[in-house]
Amino acid sequence: KSGPTEVRGYRGQTSTARVGVEQNNGYDLGFTWNGNEYELVADLQFWQQAWSVDRFISMVTQRYAYSTVVNETAKQGFQVTEQQKNKDGSIRLVVQRWSA
């Protein structure tokens, strides 16, 4: 869920996350902004995701990078002309801008 949401971290400490992920056990996880970067807030004892923590962070980081590249290049007049997901999980993007 986007928007401020309370999540419980280590030893039940709560933090206000900018983005939250609900879990069935009531121990949601989320991302807080520390002024420089996002930090994962979760009580790892109650982790209920299909992926390891490292794999989850890697997937979130990749999607964040993808969205940033697509949005920033669009602001500069570029369009995605080709997109390919490679066997290793990486994404290849080709962007192009037509000049008049």
Does residue 17 sit in helix, strand or coil?
strand
Confidence (pLDDT) at 5: 84
C-alpha distances out from residue 80 to 12, 60, 69, 100, Å: 44, 21, 10, 18
Span 27-48, pLDDT tens digits:
889 999 899 999 999 988 889 9
Dihedral angle at the C-alpha atoms of 11, 23, 36, 91, nearest 10 degrees? 140
Give the residue numbers spanning the domain of 65: 2-96
What's the number of domains the chain is made of?
Answer: 1
Query: What is the structure's pLDDT at 10?
Result: 75
Is residue 22 over pLDDT 90? no
For residue 100, what pLDDT is reported? 66
Q: 3-state DSSP: the chain helix, strand, coil percent, rounded to 5?
A: 30, 35, 35
